[in-house]
Structure 1
């Protein structure tokens, strides 16, 4: 594999490029003069390797995790292959019943080059990782870039199943950002983090994806530092700027890839932003800065908090963490996947009902009454039955607590000090015992982790855990931070407020797609109020509400779960198709609509079950 290392650069050349852009940059903090990128790394991917699947193809992505020749010292190529495999598997339903590659989607071989760097926003203390994939079949006559932000807190390949799968085969370059999160975990004991190529290096000796600031005092409770929680930057507040900086990096990378065709500018290159979940919110936030850089936006299941209406993620996530385990004991959830194990709810959920009663959070006299009361409280807060049923998966996997702890640290900007409510991250063995991470575990973090523990042998430490419902004290603390009037509560709410959306450019084409059964980012708290707010302010987005679609396509491979739902990616690809026709050919976007679907049951998904997708 060819590699070219270009010395660190402050992109003054790119600043010149932007001077030729369609509309001058008006937001000073978002201007090209603020762009700073470290060493540019260029790799070539051909002959048994490629951009979209690292040579694995659809069959390899469906297969076992790619191995390392030396588990303690995997090569950069091995790490990249495993990271691409993990991110495909974490986002797409590649199971035998899901229909990927048969009725929608494809994983063709796309050769080309990758350009990557650590990028730093003005005012930020930590870098975000940017990467541009330039296919050999790049269409120089109809120049196009798809810029994508990773879903959740995933690493740099966290949007490859969405943006890469759609854009690369069409001859577009695809730019990615981890938007200030990612999987560059730092191990305090060994003083090591992740280099640009994915391998591990020592802090102070070379640039790392994330490391504590020099001289920073790390709280003794913190064993493993995660950029989303520990950077001190509140990355969600800057998601839009992360996306836009990645788009400008793409133009610079194209100048390097095709110097005879340079300059690549926003005036002569179509730039579409696309993202799913947190990535969907990030591209909507990028649309707020009105300077003509973007030609259109596609947001799938966006974690967006409208400027008017809706609910903040922290608000409903901490509510769900407390109440859902008890509410799911209600008989209405019998038969719901993840809500029962062999017909029996988890014992911890029963303990939650009792703990809520003892803490005066519920008044019911017995478990049945407590479950019913918890369920009604959630319904009163806007949760629909469809969202609650699919939220059983997030509850069973303890995602709400992981989200609450990580986001509390980010919003509060606690940095490398103690996280709010006594949480921390550490390595755990297969039996749930905390231990010092091994070299093998550390080496795999970048490729395997999802950006928010638990996962990849890293878990959440809860110093307040005690009693029959050990998680309850910490969760009460997280929930109370949202309403406390002291400095810690005010600091957290100030951080959350920075995530609230502003209006996008009035003439910017926007497509939004959301599942009616989404139980992680419920449509009633996010896309519904966001679209209503846009329309009340003269915007006309294309908005599809997908029946029987929930948040995690990857979960559809779990027994019973996929029987009740349809995948989201077919509609995401279709929305990108429509936006492309709008941007390139001037065709009007379809009107918004509810799309009726039919769950696949226990059979292989059929195209008819996806309903009538506009344009098919």
Structure 2
């Protein structure tokens, strides 16, 4: 396990002799790296030697032995998966040509398992130090993974911008990640991603009772409600970055917050994490860019992720039937999905949740309810993707367990995780499935051979009983509901620290984290508090750049990632004195139609 020694006395001593009495001088904790690896030649920091062509390959890098991959093989495959999950790497998408970089950046990686005071489980921290680190302009980009991804989950966001510029990049999986634990074989993940047995130092150790079966998932079963500590995870990753730089360049040590620029960036859950870091005390952070952030605050229109996710899981399949069938061909086989949506309409009507004598009227009723609760048709159209991939249910299952701090076997709605047979019954995992969890998993089942076990499945609308139970946890009055609600209450964000430049970038068509529920109320609160914040609203952008490889999505939607990079350029120029305070913008981006992406379609702000 990581060796963490509190250095408060040293911190105060250094601060007393520092040149700036207001700036936090040094990192609060010293986290010793467990592992240092070199990445040069046919391997590199940004793509593990795959380059753009290798990342675009339709099949992942293979393991020489499927049941026993090496740490290097796991890393390369994790990078392949995380790049493709975040960025549009399609041949006509313009990545690496119009925007972005997959340059081969040689350097070193420092990694460890770090534990926050009071937490039951560690989170992963990893720092990439390029050989071209600029000692004269010391720069750290600190980031958190999107979704529940593993520690490389923000490689395409922070690494692609920071590494080619000579910055070190610090990552955290913010207490989630892909460190699953197989209960049948009593095996989990070591720090290097390889499999290990109970009793070894592991990244996640379950609390399951003897004889439990299936799979324990860290985000669901850590009992830490990690989302409540996302900001602290980011801060600890920044602390680790300074310690890693001390080790990488002892001749230039010490690296401190007053002599090293620190910029935080993240998207989705990572965007929420860096905004939570922005509110922490201490002058340790220089600027923040948050893309499509999952952030919950008080104010008009604000809703928690769990609230609108469970609502969407119930109502959206039916409501989509009220939208024009040709508005977006999603799911790809909509003709096969519509009978299921029609069944949901009938189930909702029978449960008294909507009205209408026929499917069309019921769909209009479901649609009207969602619109009444703040959903736009743009968000509903893009949200069809999450319906098609059953993402709403997957989020609700995992987050209900996390918010309630439930361990294995204690989910209030009876859900669990396991490898599944074709009939959805649980089975034992295989060695090759377990070996790929760390590199292939998203942190939220289903995926990577792990599925959701729903004990409430019942015909004709099989998932409805479980979804109704999940929804009741949001607004119910029993102890199970109150427990989840207490977890959600721990997530409310405060405005960023005074004087900290912040840019929030959000797609107007986001259907997973609608800006009306998240960024808009957060920005209203921050502006009311007089903070230096700017809101960039990107027209025709939705949540998942990775899905722009689908022609129908590419034609309609613009990527968000280039605008996140542009915002990073803006705050960097602000810190250099080359630009003024960031300003609000409405960016008229558009999809690329049937052709190739060009810069004009992005409508990026002028470079500072």
**TM tier relative to shorter chain:** over 0.9
Higher mean C-alpha displacement, 334-343 vs 222-231: 334-343
Q: Is residue 2:373 matched to residue 1:381?
A: yes
Alignment partners' CA distance in 2, 1:522 and 1:333: 22
CA shift at 1:486, angstroms? 1.5
CA shift at 1:56, angstroms? 0.5
Counterpart in the other structure of 1:57: 51
Counterpart in the other structure of 1:400: 392
Q: Is residue 2:71 matched to residue 1:76?
A: yes
CA shift at 1:539, angstroms? 1.4
Contact 1:549 1:565 in 2 (8 A): yes
Contact 2:548 2:557 in 1 (8 A): yes
Alignment partners' CA distance in 2, 1:599 and 1:480: 39
Q: Is residue 2:87 matched to residue 1:96?
A: no
CA shift at 1:25, angstroms? 8.9
Report the count of equivalent residues.
601
Label 1:53 to 1:441 Cα distance change in 2 as closer, same or farther (>3 A): same
Counterpart in the other structure of 2:254: 263
Question: How do 1:26-41 and structure 2 match up within 5 A?
Answer: 35=29, 37=31, 40-41=34-35
- Calculate the aligned-residue CA RMSD, in Å: 1.9
Label 1:344 to 1:443 Cα distance change in 2 as closer, same or farther (>3 A): closer
Deviations 1:307-352 (A, max 9, x none): 3331100000000000000001124243413156265643221111
Alignment partners' CA distance in 2, 1:283 and 1:151: 11
Please list every run of 5 or more consecutive structure 2 residues that lacks an aligned counterpart in the other structure.
Answer: none
1:436 corresponds to which of 425, 428, 431: 428
Counterpart in the other structure of 1:568: 560
CA shift at 1:490, angstroms? 1.1
Q: Is residue 2:263 matched to residue 1:272?
A: yes
Higher mean C-alpha displacement, 180-189 vs 527-536: 527-536
Alignment partners' CA distance in 2, 1:25 and 1:11: 22
Alignment partners' CA distance in 2, 1:522 and 1:332: 21
Q: TM-score normalized by structure 2?
A: 0.95
Deviations 1:173-215 (A, max 9, x none): 00000000000100000111100111000011x21111124xx
Contact 2:33 2:110 in 1 (8 A): no
Label 1:19 to 1:238 Cα distance change in 2 as closer, same or farther (>3 A): farther
Counterpart in the other structure of 2:131: 136
CA shift at 1:232, angstroms? 0.2
Determine helix, strand or coil for the equivalent of 1:561: helix
Higher mean C-alpha displacement, 526-535 vs 172-181: 526-535
Alignment partners' CA distance in 2, 1:594 and 1:24: 35
Counterpart in the other structure of 1:454: 446
CA shift at 1:604, angstroms? 1.1
Alignment partners' CA distance in 1, 2:21 and 2:449: 48
Q: Is residue 2:524 matched to residue 1:545?
A: no
1:155 corresponds to which of 147, 150, 157: 150
Alignment partners' CA distance in 2, 1:263 and 1:609: 45
Contact 2:44 2:104 in 1 (8 A): yes
Label 1:464 to 1:230 Cα distance change in 2 as closer, same or farther (>3 A): same
Contact 2:66 2:432 in 1 (8 A): yes
Determine helix, strand or coil for the equivalent of 1:420: coil
CA shift at 1:91, angstroms? 0.2
Contact 2:129 2:169 in 1 (8 A): yes
Label 1:561 to 1:15 Cα distance change in 2 as closer, same or farther (>3 A): farther
CA shift at 1:418, angstroms? 1.9
Alignment partners' CA distance in 1, 2:244 and 2:10: 14
Determine helix, strand or coil for the equivalent of 2:475: coil
Label 1:480 to 1:170 Cα distance change in 2 as closer, same or farther (>3 A): same
Contact 1:14 1:248 in 2 (8 A): no
CA shift at 1:422, angstroms? 1.0
CA shift at 1:24, angstroms? 6.7
Label 1:18 to 1:341 Cα distance change in 2 as closer, same or farther (>3 A): farther
Alignment partners' CA distance in 2, 1:218 and 1:588: 60
Counterpart in the other structure of 1:238: 229
Contact 1:135 1:172 in 2 (8 A): yes
Deviations 1:453-486 (A, max 9, x none): 1111111111101011110000000111111112
Contact 1:229 1:406 in 2 (8 A): yes
Question: How do 1:399-418 and structure 2 match up within 5 A?
Answer: 399-418=391-410
Counterpart in the other structure of 1:329: 321
Please list every run of 5 or more consecutive structure 1 residues that lacks an aligned counterpart in the other structure.
Answer: 1-6
Q: Is residue 2:121 matched to residue 1:126?
A: yes
Label 1:225 to 1:24 Cα distance change in 2 as closer, same or farther (>3 A): farther
CA shift at 1:587, angstroms? 2.6
CA shift at 1:589, angstroms? 3.2
Contact 2:30 2:240 in 1 (8 A): no
Deviations 1:27-73 (A, max 9, x none): xxxx966x474762100001110000001011111113100000000
Counterpart in the other structure of 1:3: none
Determine helix, strand or coil for the equivalent of 2:62: coil
